Amino acid sequence: MRIAMVSEHASPLAAISGEDAGGQNVHVAELAMALAARGHEVAVYTRRTDEERPDTVPMGPGVRVEHVRAGPAAPIGKDELPRYMPEFAQRLRAAWRIHRPDVVHAHFWMSGFASLRAANALDLPVLETFHALGTVKRRHQGSEDTSPVERVPTERAVASRCDMVVATSTEERRELGEWGIPTERVAVVPCGVDTGRFTPEGPRAASGDRPRLLSLGRLVRRKGVDTVIRALAEVPEAELVIAGGADREHLWTQPEAVRLRMVAERMGVEDRVRFLGCVDREEVPALLRSADVAVNMPWYEPFGISTVEAMACGVPVVASRVGGHVDTVVHGETGLLVPSRSPKRLGRAVRWLLSDETTRTGFADAAAERARERYSWAEVARRTEECYLHVTGTAAGASVPAPRAVSGTPVGTTARGGEE
């Protein structure tokens, strides 16, 4: 099968330490490679951000990256990208007339808009993975949500007009159902983890005598790292290691890092909190293995890849009962789920878990097994392939809805884009 993936701002070639790079870059890269390993031909279309790069870059056996000219060939934040999506769509259509794919899989809402515009005249099936929904972001961030006003109506249009939405959690499917999207047009396929690198066996980062809690992820307010710091007051014997944000040299120029350090000082726990800054991806498994408990407390979470990475490394997790965590963490079996923004509840859960080594060991073993069985990229690719077969009519008994155009949506009318 010839698969066209569209990821307008998140190139699989990008280093994930960039301001506008992260989980989607990794997701697209790993999924493309895993699908190619199943015998498919995958082309990933992303916006050109460098004049010197070739139009086509081989990424691995069966996978190539196509750089699409739309707007200036320079890095541009997502806030500036919507105005270039009509041009992006036009160039996609031209490329697909020459190299026609069997199926199109768009990632993020702007990619969905461009893909549907490009595919309409070519009668190509389009699947959409949002990675995050604007309605959920607005609900939890309120006035701090920087998404453009057209994001939500465009997402609704994409969801209603694509052939299938590939959601990353059952919570996302429920949200889409409230929009009126029929459940039979929404498949839940989780994000994946490299179960060859993220394993219980392997080197561990150096640690001290205190029990170690680890918070791993971006340093943005919605990740709830301040909740973890406040909870540390309830666990006086433990240390907290915070990994994420800018590199160590520039970490304290980042406002959220400064805010979190002030929270630690106000709570009187600054001597037990360590900020590592950005950690190289190659060092993450060893860092995870050094933790006694991984703690992730976002206000909302479309999936929560760092939680699954910890599970794959055999680390018990305490996570907020939101979004993808509800699917990935089996409460009382692989870890614990607690309400978000509840430092005292979190502190009690962590304190109890640290006091019971037998339970921690049981959680760790069950977490690693669950990650291997459900979240390997091979398994995620297999389930994604089933979605492709369904919309192309290849699967037995498949019912293929007619592709529908996206028109009259407001993308391209403003320079402002979403954070995620």
Question: The tokens of 160 are what?
Answer: 């209603």
What the chain holds in terms of domains, given with CATH numbers, is 2-192+377-391 (3.40.50.2000), 212-374 (3.40.50.2000)
* pLDDT for the residue numbered 140: 78
340: three-class secondary structure by DSSP: coil
Series of mean pLDDT values for 10-residue runs along the chain (420 residues): 96 58 84 97 96 93 96 88 96 97 97 97 96 86 76 95 97 95 95 96 95 95 96 97 93 96 98 95 96 96 93 98 95 97 97 97 98 97 98 63 42 37
Residues 288 and 214: beta-carbon distance below 8 Å = yes
pLDDT for the residue 114: 98
Give the closest residue to 353 by CA, choosing from 235, 242, 274.
235
Q: Confirm if 224 and 251 have CB atoms less than 8 A apart.
A: no
Interatomic CA distance for residues 275 and 250, integer angstroms? 12
pLDDT number for residue 409 = 44
Beta-carbon contacts of 416 under 8 Å, excluding residues fewer than 6 positions away, are 79, 80, 82, 146, 147, 148
**How many angstroms separate the CA atoms of 152 and 174, rounded?**
16
Strand, helix or coil for residue 205: coil
Quote the pLDDT of residue 416. 27
Measured CA to CA, the distance from residue 244 to residue 412 in angstroms comes to 33
Number of C-beta neighbours around residue 283 at 10 A = 13
From CA 340, how far away is CA 301, in angstroms rounded? 11
Q: Where are the alpha helices (DSSP H) in 339-410?
A: 343-355, 357-374, 377-391
**For residues 213 and 360, is the Cβ–Cβ distance under 8 A?**
no
Contact 150, 410 (CB under 8 A): yes
Strands 239-243 vs 63-68: parallel, antiparallel or unpaired: unpaired
Q: What is the pTM of this model?
A: 0.88
